[in-house]
C-alpha cells in the first residue's frame, strides 16, 4: 500500500513507544559510555560482527521533528506524497481532509524515543527518555547499527522499493530483529532467554494501549496506527520463528534472503516455503486518453486484514486474510475533469474465499462512502454509484476486481 513510501522516507530505524517523561539530568557521556558494553553483548547474542564503535548523542524532540521533515523532502516529492495520500483516501483508510505528511511527521516525532541514522552511522536518544530506560533504548538502536555494519540498511531498504508490501516486510525485518535483540538483552539480565521461552516473546512483542500518553497516535486512523507498530510486534515474532528454525544463523538469513510480503511476516511458514505473491490483472475501465496513470502498487495481506477490520469485522479479517495470494492497484487521473479512478484486483487461494471477500468488500464500499446507490446486483457483480462516481465490483473465480470513481459515461 502506498502509505509505505512516506513512512519509509521519513523514518529512520527508530524505537517507538518507550516510556518518556521529563528526564533527570543526563549528560551525553553518561548515556554514550554505556554503548560499547551493550554493543559487545549484542554482537555475542546475534553472532554478527561489531566492526567499529557506534557514535551516539542526545537530541531534542524539536530536532527530531526537524530531522524528519528534512528526511521527507530528501526521500519523497510532493507528487509522491499526493499520490500516496490519494490512494489511502480512495480505499477509505483515511478521511477526505487527512494531511498525510503532517500526520506522519508528527506521529514519528511523538513516538521516537531514539533513532539510528543509517546515513550518518550515528544513533540519537531523545532527551525525554528516562535514564531507567536508556539501556533498552540503546540496545535497540545498537542492534540497528550492528545490522547496518553487516548488511547496509540504507541499501537494504532501497532494494525493497519495487514492491510496497515487500518494503513493509523489510521494515519488519529491521525493527523486528532490533526489538528481539533488545528484549533478549533484557531477558538475559534476568537469567532468561527468548530462545526457550515463547510466552516471553509474545508478552514482550505486545504493544498495548497508550493510556493517553501519545495523543497523535491515539487520534491517528486505524491503518496508520497498525502499520506503524506492525514491524515491531509481528517483526519480532517472525524473527523468533526464524531463530527457532535456523538458530543464530537466522539473524543474518533474514537480511540475505528477506521476506517478500507481509504475509510471510505474519505466517513464517510461508517464508520457509518461499510462497511468492501473484499479480492478478487489473480490470480495464476503457477510459479516454485524458486519464493518465498516477500511481500503482501492491497490497498485501496486512492491508486486506486492516481493510476488513475497519469496514467489516475482525472475524472476517482473521478468517479471510490468510488466504490472500496477491493484489495490485492503480490510480488513473484526469486532472482537467478533477477525477481519479481506482482500479483494484485481488486474488485468493480459492473461489470460495474470493466469494466471501467479494461479499465483504461490498460492505466496505457501503461503509466508506456516505452514499452508495446500487444499479444492478448479481452473485458475481455489483454496479452503481458512490461518492466519487460509478463503480463496478466483480467476482471471477478466485479474483475480485473493483473499479471506483468512474465517470458518469465512458468518454
The residues, ordered by sequence, that sit 6+ positions from 211 with a Cβ below 8 Å of its Cβ are none
The 3-state DSSP class for residue 287 equals coil
CA distance 96 to 304: 20
CA distance 6 to 2: 8
Which residue intervals of 198-266 are DSSP H helices?
198-204, 215-219, 222-246, 250-256, 262-266
- Is 297 in contact with 254 (CB distance < 8 Å)? no
The number of beta carbons lying within 10 Å of the beta carbon of residue 162 is 11
Q: Closest Cα partner for 282 from 410, 394, 137? A: 394
Q: Closest Cα partner for 2 from 77, 87, 74, 82? A: 87
Q: Closest Cα partner for 91 from 408, 391, 411? A: 391
Q: Which residues pair with 117 in a beta bridge?
A: 122
* H/E segment holding residue 394: strand 389-396
Task: State residue 59 phi and psi, 5-degree precision.
Answer: -150, 145
Residuewise pLDDT in 10s, the chain (411 residues): 544 455 554 455 666 655 444 444 457 777 888 999 999 999 999 999 999 999 999 999 899 999 888 888 888 899 999 999 999 999 999 999 999 999 999 998 888 888 999 889 999 998 877 777 888 999 999 999 999 999 999 999 989 888 889 999 999 999 999 999 999 999 999 999 998 888 888 888 775 445 567 899 999 999 999 999 999 999 999 999 999 999 999 999 999 999 999 999 999 999 999 999 999 999 999 999 999 999 999 999 999 999 999 999 999 999 999 999 999 999 999 999 999 999 999 999 999 999 999 999 999 999 999 999 999 999 999 999 999 999 999 999 999 999 999 999 754
Q: Which residues pair with 114 in a beta bridge?
A: 15, 125
- Is 340 in contact with 331 (CB distance < 8 Å)? yes
Number of residues assigned to the chain: 411
- pLDDT score recorded for residue 129: 78
- pLDDT score recorded for residue 17: 57
Domain boundaries, the chain: 3-272, 292-406
Q: Which residues pair with 385 in a beta bridge?
A: 373, 390
Q: Closest Cα partner for 11 from 224, 306, 218, 184? A: 224
Helices 100-111, 222-246: inter-axial angle, 10-degree rounding: 50
The 3-state DSSP class for residue 106 equals helix
- Grid cell 472476517 is found at 316
Angle at 365 between CA 363 and CA 371, to 5 degrees: 110
For residue 77 the three cell numbers come to 516529492
Q: Closest Cα partner for 44 from 160, 135, 139, 162? A: 139
- Is 401 in contact with 393 (CB distance < 8 Å)? yes
| Torsion sign (Cα): 259, 261, 263, 265 | positive
Please identify, in words, the CATH class of the domain defined by 292-406. alpha beta
> What counts of helices (H) and strands (E) characterise the chain?
18, 11
The 3-state DSSP class for residue 143 equals helix
The 3-state DSSP class for residue 23 equals coil
DSSP for 302-357, please give it.
HHHHHHHHHHS-HHHHHHHGGGEEEEEEEEEEETTTTEEEEEEEEEESSHHHHHHH
> What is the pTM for the complete model shown?
0.92
Q: Closest Cα partner for 179 from 7, 4, 15? A: 15
Amino acid at each position: 500500500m502506498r502509505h509505505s513510501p512516506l513512512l519509509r522516507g521519513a523514518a529512520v530505524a527508530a524505537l517507538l513507544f518507550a516510556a518518556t517523561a521529563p528526564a533527570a539530568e543526563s549528560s551525553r557521556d553518561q548515556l554514550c559510555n554505556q554503548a560499547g558494553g551493550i554493543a559487545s553483548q549484542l554482537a555475542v547474542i546475534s553472532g554478527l560482527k561489531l566492526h567499529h564503535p557506534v557514535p551516539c548523542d542526545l537530541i531534542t524532540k524539536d530536532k527530531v521533528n526537524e530531522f524528519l521533515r528534512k528526511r521527507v523532502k530528501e526521500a519523497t516529492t510532493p507528487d509522491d506524497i499526493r499520490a500516496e495520500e490519494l490512494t489511502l483516501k480512495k480505499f477509505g483508510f483515511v478521511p477526505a481532509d487527512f494531511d498525510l505528511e503532517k500526520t506522519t511527521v508528527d506521529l514519528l516525532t511523538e513516538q521516537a524515543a531514539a533513532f539510528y541514522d543509517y546515513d550518518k552511522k550515528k544513533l540519537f536518544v531523545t532527551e525525554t527518555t528516562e535514564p531507567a530506560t536508556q539501556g533498552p533504548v540503546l540496545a535497540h538502536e545498537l542492534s540497528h547499527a550492528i545490522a547496518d555494519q553487516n548488511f547496509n540498511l540504507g541499501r537494504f531498504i532501497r532494494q525493497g522499493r519495487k514492491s510496497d508490501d515487500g518494503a513493509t516486510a523489510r521494515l519488519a525485518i529491521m525493527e523486528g530483529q532490533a526489538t528481539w535483540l533488545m528484549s533478549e538483552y533484557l531477558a538475559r539480565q534476568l537469567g532468561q532467554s527468548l530462545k526457550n521461552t515463547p510466552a516471553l516473546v509474545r508478552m514482550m512483542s505486545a504493544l498495548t494501549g497508550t493510556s493517553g500518553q501519545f495523543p497523535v497516535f491515539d487520534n491517528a486512523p486505524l491503518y496508520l496506527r497498525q502499520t506503524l507498530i506492525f514491524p515491531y510486534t509481528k517483526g519480532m515474532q517472525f524473527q523468533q520463528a526464524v531463530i527457532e528454525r535456523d538458530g543464530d544463523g537466522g539473524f543474518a538469513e533474514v537480511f540475505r534472503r528477506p521476506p517478500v510480503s507481509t504475509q510471510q511476516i505474519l505466517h513464517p511458514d510461508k517464508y520457509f516455503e518461499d510462497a511468492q505473491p501473484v499479480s492478478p490483472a487489473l480490470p480495464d475501465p476503457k477510459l479516454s486518453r485524458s486519464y493518465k496513470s498516477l500511481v500503482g502498487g501492491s497490497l498485501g495481506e496486512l492491508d486486506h486484514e486492516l481493510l476488513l477490520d475497519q469496514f467489516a469485522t475482525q472475524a472476517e479479517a482473521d478468517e479471510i486474510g490468510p488466504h490472500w495470494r496477491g493484489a495490485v492497484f492503480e490510480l488513473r487521473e484526469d486532472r482537467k475533469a478533477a477525477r481519479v479512478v481506482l482500479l483494484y484486483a485481488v486474488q485468493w487461494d480459492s473461489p470460495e474465499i474470493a466469494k466471501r471477500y467479494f461479499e465483504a468488500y461490498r460492505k466496505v464500499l457501503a461503509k466508506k462512502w456516505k452514499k452508495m446507490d446500487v444499479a444492478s446486483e448479481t452473485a458475481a457483480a455489483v454496479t452503481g454509484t458512490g461518492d466519487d462516481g460509478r463503480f463496478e465490483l466483480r467476482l471471477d473465480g478466485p479474483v475480485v476486481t473493483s473499479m471506483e470513481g468512474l465517470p458518469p459515461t465512458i468518454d
